Structure 1
């Protein structure tokens, strides 16, 4: 039985991935801040799910939680760095600086901390797979994407650099880059609880769903030992590339 550690398991992609992997007979270690949701998953899945409660911005809490894992769960086969968030959609000169800091601390600092703590035992065993949840925002700029897009560009390059560092090992690294995905709390968090504003983002669109991402995660991890998918970009058919913006001079 493979052991998977998933960050941000209490909603959206993380919860869907958790469900899919448990259905596929994985043992899942799930992390999150909301203990009541972790408890709910534990009650549902029993021994197949092991909860760890911590905030990804708290390095000491991450270390303490991971060090508390029982020996039977210490050899993680699959690390899914899923937890992350976007805050606000204002232009850079109008944004809340604390929102920037929170995105950096969660999307970058938290991700690299978990990776650094889990990776040595993968190297020791010469076995494992790290799947980072990036975003098309790390590939294509858009107004208001500023620091969020910057954090996801970091995740993409970090994933590629991990592959370079792990040359000669059997460890896999993948950056999974979704586009417009609904049925998550992503936009609710971005717009700080404005449900109507969040709903407008997905109105009349056949968007990618968390279950679609979960299927891709399982497929990625089930590739033959000699196959590594470096990056995989996923959009709904309804979403594609926009023309480059050109600001024309005003005519007086």
Structure 2
């Protein structure tokens, strides 16, 4: 796909990988609708990216508000070409210590939000014969279980199943579906989760550039799953390092 003038929707766009993806897409002359709850950070990203970045203050777990936004913006004459489901939260802890609210928040954002935004966007993608692409950001924690990651891994295993089923459902509509499973990325995520980091984490800009490469593959070539890991990590003693 040639990304010039393509219309992209990026969730979790205000920081970390979402911000890096928005910048990378803008640098390819795409038009980006960046969704997030943090209005201040979205405006800062708008100031950096310029007129092709459109900040959208949105909680993707609010499905009715989300659907209203999508139907008011998109039509058969203005169709999104790319959806990047990046929004996600995580907190690690023992199953008998993690609060119910954290479990529900992770399920709601990591799975319900992804489902709701995809359901809102796909009908518009189907209205065009041109190739479209959905990128779901999973995690290596969605490919393996790990102590004290019960809740987070459950949501990311769900992303795997969602992506695989969606791939089969949309393949004949010229809509690609790719699940990207990164290891540890140097973002604020690790400060919030309480898990350890190491000295050679993936950089958000590098992961974003890799995803750009996936988007730019030939129309008849699909990378349906990709795992990204840092090279030569210096592992700390903490067993929760990624």
Please state if 1:91 is matched with 2:94. Answer: yes
Query: How far apart are the structure 1 equivalents of 2:71 and 2:48?
Result: 25
Please state if 1:108 is matched with 2:111. Answer: yes
Query: How far apart are the structure 1 equivalents of 2:170 and 2:58?
Result: 28
Which range moved further: 128-137 or 64-73?
64-73
1:232 to 214, 226, 236: 226
- Counterpart residue number, 2:158: 154
Deviation per residue, 1:129-171 (Å, 9 max, x gap): 0000000000011111101101111111111111111232211
Asked if structure 2 preserves the Cα contact closer than 8 Å seen for 1:52 and 1:65, the reply is: no
- Counterpart residue number, 2:127: 124
Please state if 1:222 is matched with 2:226. Answer: no
Where does structure 1 differ by over 3 angstroms across 4 or more consecutive aligned residues? 70-74
Query: How far apart are the structure 2 equivalents of 1:72 and 1:11?
Result: 31
Query: How far apart are the structure 2 equivalents of 1:46 and 1:164?
Result: 37
SS of 2:134 mapped into structure 1: strand
Q: CA deviation at 1:72?
A: 9.8
Asked if structure 2 preserves the Cα contact closer than 8 Å seen for 1:53 and 1:65, the reply is: no
Q: CA deviation at 1:54?
A: 1.1
Q: CA deviation at 1:208?
A: 0.4
SS of 1:19 mapped into structure 2: helix
Q: CA deviation at 1:39?
A: 1.5
- Counterpart residue number, 2:204: 210
TM-score, normalised with respect to structure 2 = 0.89
Query: How far apart are the structure 1 equivalents of 2:75 and 2:167?
Result: 27
Aligned pairs for 1:10-25 within 5 A: 10-25=14-29
- Counterpart residue number, 1:77: 81
Q: 1:188 to 1:154 in 2, by over 3 A?
A: same
Query: How far apart are the structure 1 equivalents of 2:20 and 2:95?
Result: 33
2:172 to 168, 174, 181: 168
Query: Which ranges in structure 1 are unaligned for 5 or more consecutive residues?
Result: 192-197, 246-252
- Counterpart residue number, 1:195: none
Asked if structure 2 preserves the Cα contact closer than 8 Å seen for 1:130 and 1:174, the reply is: yes
Query: How far apart are the structure 2 equivalents of 1:52 and 1:74?
Result: 17
Bigger radius of gyration among the two: 1
1:189 to 187, 192, 197: 192
- Counterpart residue number, 1:52: 56
- Counterpart residue number, 1:135: 139
Q: 1:124 to 1:70 in 2, by over 3 A?
A: closer
SS of 2:33 mapped into structure 1: strand
- Counterpart residue number, 1:179: 183
TM-score, normalised with respect to structure 1 = 0.86
Root-mean-square deviation over aligned CA pairs: 2.1
Asked if structure 1 preserves the Cα contact closer than 8 Å seen for 2:76 and 2:127, the reply is: no
